[in-house]
């Protein structure tokens, strides 16, 4: 293996060439704060919080954009580094509403956490604030520019991973804003409401709409498979009192932190009173709840009867694109070999 | 397609009559073998990048050829290997004139060595420093020198495609470039199989959309690629992975305009001019409160005094010279007592300033140093691309503090606050804009701290320039001519003819009109 030897916080390490300092540090358990980093994206170096000191290299260097080099002597938490991070956080919080009490993201907000960690209170420069801008035209999520720290993650995810390019930056300098082209609002943009931007927003600027109020520390998460299609995206359901209040994509699965609009936002039916949670059989003209065993018994006996009475071709089967390939395969197999008919098709046929 | 013989033929045909015509015009004279512009202003100047400016007709390629134009390209293509060209430029120690002063030969070498199916060379003509117009002059008055420099660069690194990224606000430069490119293509000096050597090279124009930050190399590439012009972090060298991920060399207009001369006269000749570490010349745009404003091209290492006084004629209107800002809005303010500093990359760096692209703003006794720092910072605040936190948020806060100081609302600790912000912004910003934006603040605090203190503690502006801190008053010298009362836009002045007049401070908006018209200097600023 092609490696370099270097020193991080006084200890020697041997690390694979080409590794970024941020990754090298996280692999050895050193936590460097980041706001704009996402392993899936091209590094942008915009938040500047991951800066570290490299002896003999002059000014500070961002760990997320710097590769390890032979003989480097890195300090991730030196006085100079900590001071710079504090100053940057101070600048951010100075131009930020202190709404943590009512903010939906409180408890799951990087700005809040880092200000706590680095001892930043209300901000030294609470003078002019960015102009407020609020976009609530999307049915699934809202955007509050006053809470946006312009990390750029949403823009980059929409561009590099989602491939939709619905949002970008507008204006310059202090007036910079995440916006849709020509300021026409999300509703009139090419946004497909996948919510992948919402999932990466490190603060409360992009918020999913939720029917229920909850605090981030009240929720339980349960890993599950999205039932909407055969891709089988992994997701963590956020529940409070056994009710689903939100969905986060799993990063450690094949969907790598992405979902589509259905997986991300369409969960409210789960606790809808009309939802069937038990099989029903019609008894004396009325649908009544029953057990799965009984339901299957009814189905198989009726199928046998029908085959005897009317023959195989009296059956027709239609499956769904939501099922996996394996399910669809089994379904047609059952129709062809058990029921003995080729009358089987799939809803995705156009 | 033009041949070697044909190039000589054009030169021999055009030159004698052109020289005759020029000498008749009485604007030029011979200095050695070279034709140079005549006059006191040009005596101390040495013109390499500007050598043809105001002498030849930029829309006539033959006139460019008459003064050895495209002979450097001919020599490179027919007598030298690409590696030799890189070596010659490296040997010349030519350093980038776009601001950073990076050795051009070393940069070219990186791209030359890097194997790729496609390489690009970009001419950075996005000149955005307010007050700078050297690149514009070269593009408008000698566009072929840039095209030739690019073609030589293209040959050296193995690129067949060049782009000139030029400001859309320079319509004349764009037009002249279009004409020059067309003529060069007609002669076969651009296009396929140049001089029959098999070397192909084409140049296209790309118009900049008006953001200063697009002059930053990586932001410029983003812009050419069709994205918002924001600087990229330096994950790779652009000489290896630049425009569309291909090896790319980006050079400033003036840098490229130096290339043909170096190829013609040799690296040794170039190094005989200027200083050891910064050979050659630099073009400066001398502006501000200076008697003879304009473009000057002088050998590196010439002192500020020679430039500002001997060439520039000192401060305007007999006022006292106070300071000069080099390097544009992100440069540093150099006080009068450092006037003997030689102007080269190293010497300017030592006194906290920079060469930048060559802006030189002269200030006189009436310039308030807090106000001028605010003025320069204002530019950076507006032009910040907004990508990174320190530049977007930090420069804004610095500006707010400077603004309140000039309004007489500064508070104890503001200087320290400015110093702290300056440090963080310059050490943590992503690109050169943020890294250098605090320079005017840092240098004015360093050299004129007392002016800051006077504003904050005594609520006074020593240069008598900050409106909130001054008052216009009429003294006993008043002869009652009534002129001031007539010009006052808000009728703040009263008085009878031939009697002393009086300014009502509650009405006065401090426009200074009365001060300017009083024939006996009876109005004073306090
Ligand atoms: C904010 C910013 C603006 C810049 N603007 C220009 C410019 O207008 N023209 C230019 O040649 N270089 C400009 N530069 C410098 C370029 O990034 C780059 O260093 C230069 O074009 C390289 O050419 P050189 O080596 O020939 O100087 C700018 C740099 C920064 C950080
Ligand atoms: S986004 Fe974070 S810091 Fe801002 S109000 Fe919400 S919880 Fe607080
Ligand atoms: S919801 Fe999806 S498509 Fe819409 S802006 Fe966000 S990432 Fe882009
Ligand atoms: S909305 Fe969120 S993700 Fe997008 S730039 Fe702002 S803080 Fe970053
Ligand atoms: S330093 Fe300023 S101009 Fe440069 S990337 Fe950061 S915000 Fe943009
Ligand atoms: S400074 Fe202007 S407004 Fe004030 S008295 Fe003079 S002319 Fe009038
Ligand atoms: S212009 Fe001067 S001299 Fe005339 S009235 Fe005004 S102050 Fe007096
Ligand atoms: S995480 Fe490195 S700059 Fe934001």
Q: Is a pLDDT exceeding 90 seen at residue B209?
A: no
Q: Å from A194 to nearest chain B CA?
A: 23
Neighbours of B317 (CB within 10 A): 8
Look at strands A234-240 and A243-249 and give their pairing: antiparallel
Find out whether the beta carbon of B503 lies less than 6 Å from any atom of ligand 6.
yes
Does B512 sit in the ligand 6 pocket, CB within 6 Å? yes
**Would you call A62 and B233 a contact, using CB atoms and an 8 Å cutoff?**
yes
Q: Cα distance from B310 to chain A (closest Cα, Å)?
A: 38
Q: Is B437 on the interface with A (CB under 8 A)?
A: no
| B209/A contact by beta carbon, under 8 A | no
Sign of CA dihedral B251, B390, A47, A196: negative
pLDDT band at A350 (very low <50, low <70, confident <90, very high): low
State how far Cα A317 lies from the chain centre: 36
Chain B interface includes A158 (CB < 8 A): no
With a 6 A CB cut-off, is B1 part of the ligand 6 pocket? no
Topology classification of domain A3-77: Ubiquitin-like (UB roll) (3.10.20)
Query: What does the block give as tokens for A329?
Result: 């395969």
pLDDT > 70: percent of chain B = 100
**Protein residue with its CA nearest to atom 8 in ligand 5:** B385
Contact B429 A168 (CB under 8 A): no
Q: Is the pLDDT of residue B132 over 70?
A: yes
Mean pLDDT of B162-179: 96
Q: What is the pLDDT of residue B2?
A: 87
Residue B226, CB-side half-sphere exposure with 13 Å CA sphere = 1
Q: How far apart are CA B446 and CA B79, in angstroms?
A: 53
pLDDT value at residue B210: 77
CB A78 within 8 A of CB A10: no
Query: How many angstroms is it from B231 CA to the middle of ligand 1?
Result: 12
CB of B366 within 8 A of CB of B329? no
Check if B430 has its Cβ closer than 6 Å to any atom of ligand 5: yes
The residue-averaged pLDDT of A281-305 equals 94
Given a cut of 90, is residue A272 above it in pLDDT?
no
Q: What is the pLDDT of residues A304-339, one digit of tens each?
A: 999 999 999 999 999 988 888 899 999 999 999 999
Element (H, E) at B30: strand B28-31
The pLDDT of residue A349: 67
A88 vs B213, B382, B389: nearest CB: B389
H/E stretch holding B525 reads strand B523-525
What are the structural domain ranges in chain A? Answer: 3-77, 130-209, 212-275, 280-349
Q: What are phi and psi of A198, to 5 degrees?
A: -60, -40
Mean pLDDT over each residue of chain B, to the nearest integer: 95
Mutate to test the interface with B, among A19, A38, A41, A45 (most CBs of B within 10 A): A45
Test the A interface: residue of B237, B245, B393 with most A CBs within 10 Å: B393
pLDDT tens digits, B366-403: 999 999 999 999 999 999 999 999 999 999 999 999 99
Looking at ligand 4, which atom is closest to the CA of residue A197? 3
Query: In the CATH hierarchy, which fold is given to the domain comprising A130-209?
Result: Alpha-Beta Plaits (3.30.70)
Tracing tokens 């000149």 back to the chain, one arrives at B127
Helix (H) or strand (E) holding B382: helix B369-383
Reported ipTM: 0.91
For A44, A56, B289, the CA distances from B432, given in Å and listed in that order, are 16, 20, 27
| Domains with residue ranges and CATH for chain B | 4-271 (3.40.50.11540), 281-364 (3.10.20.600), 369-457 (1.20.1440.230), 471-525 (3.30.70.20)
- Is the CB–ligand 8 distance for residue A64 below 6 Å? yes
- Structural element, H or E, at residue B299: strand B294-299
Shortest distance between the Cα of A65 and any Cα of chain B, in A, equals: 6
Chain B positions in Cβ-Cβ contact with residue A87 (cut-off 8 Å) = 390, 394, 420-421, 424, 428
Q: Which CATH superfamily is domain A212-275 in?
A: ADC-like domains (2.20.25.90)
B318-372: pLDDT as tens digits: 999 999 999 989 999 999 999 999 999 999 999 988 998 899 999 999 999 999 9
In whole angstroms, what is the distance from residue B450 CA to residue A58 CA? 30
Q: Which residues of A touch B390 (CB under 8 A)?
A: 48, 87-88, 91
Q: What residues in B contact A124, CB-CB < 8 Å?
A: 417
Nearest to A48 among B386, B421, B430 (CB): B430
- Rounded to a whole number of angstroms, the distance from the CA of B164 to the nearest CA of chain A is 24
Ligand 6 in contact with B488 (CB < 6 A)? yes
Assess A169–B contact: CB distance below 8 Å, yes or no. Answer: yes
Measured CA distances, A129 to A93, A119, B188 (Å): 10, 22, 58
pLDDT interval class at A122 (50, 70, 90): confident
pLDDT in tens, A157-177: 999 999 999 999 999 999 999
H/E stretch holding B183: helix B171-186
- Pick the atom of ligand 8 nearest to A34's CA: 1
């Amino acid at each position: 293996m092609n490696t370099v030897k270097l020193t991080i916080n006084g200890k020697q390490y041997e690390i694979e060439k080409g590794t970024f300092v941020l990754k090298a540090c996280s692999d050895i358990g050193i936590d460097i704060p980041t706001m704009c980093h996402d392993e899936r994206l091209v590094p942008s170096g915009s938040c500047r919080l991951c800066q570290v000191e490299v002896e003999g290299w002059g000014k500070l260097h961002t760990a997320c954009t710097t590769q390890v080099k032979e003989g480097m002597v890195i300090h991730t938490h030196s006085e100079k580094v900590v001071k710079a991070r504090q100053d940057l956080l101070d600048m951010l919080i100075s131009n930020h509403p202190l709404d943590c009490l009512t903010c939906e993201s409180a408890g799951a907000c990087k700005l809040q956490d880092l200000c706590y960690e680095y001892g930043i209170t209300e901000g030294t420069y609470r003078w002019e604030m960015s102009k407020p801008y609020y976009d609530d035209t999307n049915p699934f999520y809202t955007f509050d520019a006053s809470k946006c720290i312009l990390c750029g993650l949403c823009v980059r995810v929409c561009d590099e991973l989602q491939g939709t390019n619905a949002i970008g930056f507008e204006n310059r300098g202090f007036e910079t804003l995440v916006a849709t082209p020509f300021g026409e609002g999300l509703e009139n943009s090419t946004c497909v409401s996948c919510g992948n931007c919402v999932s990466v927003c490190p603060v409360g600027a992009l918020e999913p709409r939720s029917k229920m109020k909850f605090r981030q520390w009240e929720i339980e998460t349960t890993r599950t498979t999205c039932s909407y299609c055969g891709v089988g995206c992994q997701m963590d359901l956020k529940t409070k009192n056994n009710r689903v209040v939100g969905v986060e994509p799993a990063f450690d699965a094949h969907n790598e932190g992405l979902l589509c609009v259905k997986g991300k936002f369409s969960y409210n039916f789960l606790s809808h009173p009309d939802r069937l949670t038990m099989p029903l059989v019609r008894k004396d003209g009325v649908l009544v709840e029953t057990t799965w065993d009984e339901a299957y018994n009814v189905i198989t006996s009726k199928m046998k009867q029908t085959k005897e009475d009317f023959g195989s071709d009296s059956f027709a089967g239609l499956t769904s694109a939501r099922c996996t390939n394996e399910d669809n395969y089994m379904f047609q197999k059952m129709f062809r070999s058990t029921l003995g008919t080729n009358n089987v098709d799939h809803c995705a046929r156009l | 397609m033009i041949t070697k013989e044909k190039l000589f033929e054009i030169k021999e045909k055009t030159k004698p009559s052109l020289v005759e015509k020029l000498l008749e015009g009485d604007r030029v004279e011979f200095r050695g073998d070279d034709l140079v512009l005549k006059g006191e202003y040009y005596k101390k100047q040495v013109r390499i990048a500007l050598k043809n400016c105001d002498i030849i007709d930029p829309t006539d390629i033959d006139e460019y050829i008459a003064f050895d134009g495209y002979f450097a390209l001919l020599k490179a293509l027919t007598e030298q290997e690409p590696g030799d060209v890189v070596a010659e430029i490296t040997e010349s120690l030519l350093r980038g004139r776009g601001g950073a002063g990076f050795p051009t030969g070393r940069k070219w070498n990186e791209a030359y060595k890097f194997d790729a199916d496609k390489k690009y060379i970009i001419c950075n003509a996005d000149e955005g420093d307010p007050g700078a117009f050297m690149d514009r002059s070269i593009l408008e008055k000698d566009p072929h020198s840039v095209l030739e420099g690019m073609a030589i660069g293209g040959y050296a690194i193995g690129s067949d495609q060049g782009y000139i990224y030029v400001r859309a606000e320079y319509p004349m430069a764009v037009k002249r470039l279009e004409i020059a490119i067309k003529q060069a293509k007609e002669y076969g000096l651009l296009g396929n199989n140049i001089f029959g050597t098999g070397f192909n090279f084409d140049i296209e124009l790309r118009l900049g959309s008006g953001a200063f930050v697009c002059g930053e190399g990586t932001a410029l590439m983003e812009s050419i690629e069709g994205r918002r012009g924001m600087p990229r972090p330096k994950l790779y060298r652009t000489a290896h992975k630049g425009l569309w991920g291909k090896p790319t060399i980006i050079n400033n207009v003036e840098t490229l305009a130096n290339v043909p001369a170096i190829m013609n006269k040799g690296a040794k000749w170039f190094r005989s001019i200027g200083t050891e570490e910064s050979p050659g010349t630099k073009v400066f745009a001398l502006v501000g409160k200076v008697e003879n404003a304009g473009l000057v091209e002088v050998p590196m290492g010439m002192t500020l005094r020679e430039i500002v006084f001997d060439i520039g004629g000192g401060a305007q209107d007999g006022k006292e010279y106070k300071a000069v800002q080099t390097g544009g809005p992100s440069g540093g303010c150099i006080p009068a007592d450092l006037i003997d500093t030689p102007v080269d990359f190293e010497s300017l760096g030592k006194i906290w300033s920079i060469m930048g692209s060559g802006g030189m703003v002269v200030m006189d006794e009436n310039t308030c140093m807090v106000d001028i720092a605010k003025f320069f910072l204002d530019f950076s605040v507006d032009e910040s691309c907004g990508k990174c936190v320190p530049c977007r948020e930090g420069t804004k806060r610095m500006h707010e503090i400077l603004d309140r100081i000039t309004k007489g609302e500064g508070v104890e600790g503001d200087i320290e606050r400015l110093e702290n912000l300056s440090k963080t912004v310059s050490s943590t910003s992503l690109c050169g804009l943020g890294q250098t934006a605090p320079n005017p603040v840092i240098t004015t605090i360093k050299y004129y701290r007392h002016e800051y203190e006077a504003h904050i503690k005594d609520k006074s502006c020593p240069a008598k320039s900050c409106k909130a801190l001054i008052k216009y008053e009429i003294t006993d010298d008043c002869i009652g001519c009534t002129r001031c009362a007539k010009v006052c836009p808000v009728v703040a002045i009263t008085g009878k003819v031939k009697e002393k007049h009086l300014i009502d401070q509650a009405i006065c908006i401090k426009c200074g009109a009365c001060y300017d018209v009083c024939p006996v200097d009876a109005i004073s600023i306090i």
